[in-house]
Amino acid sequence: GAGVSQSPRYKVAKRGQDVALRCDPISGHVSLFWYQQALGQGPEFLTYFQNEAQLDKSGLPSDRFFAERPEGSVSTLKIQRTQQEDSAVYLCASSLVPGQDTQYFGPGTRLTVL
């Protein structure tokens, strides 16, 4: 079946622009995660949803970052007034049930802020 999909795959933004990144999890997966991966680093946790509820947003680096999953399926990560340090790959992952279940990652969105 289809895996996790993300769009766009690549995004170039000018500093100060707002961007919106989309994640389509595997159908039926309850849990959805966003991670940020800087060049040469491992992914860093941003936020977690269980269905439509955002249960953990402790990893969001600033109030310019906002995520939602209004109907418990598709999720959007929005970054306002982008800065150069926001340049990274943004990975979405989903898992069937909460807890220690395998997380399946999407291909990521590579954001470059000029």
Site residues for other proteins per CB under 8 A: 31, 33, 35, 40-45, 48, 56, 59, 91, 93, 95, 98-100, 102-103, 105-108
SS3 84: helix
For other proteins, give the closer residue by CB, 16 or 97: 97
Token couple for 23: 């994640």
Neighbouring CB atoms inside 10 A of 71's CB total 9
Neighbouring CB atoms inside 10 A of 21's CB total 20
Question: Shortest Cβ distance from residue 16 to other proteins (Å)?
Answer: 27
- Which of 10, 36, 8 is closest to 105 using CA atoms? 36
Question: Shortest Cβ distance from residue 33 to other proteins (Å)?
Answer: 7
Question: Shortest Cβ distance from residue 107 to other proteins (Å)?
Answer: 5
For other proteins, give the closer residue by CB, 9 or 15: 9
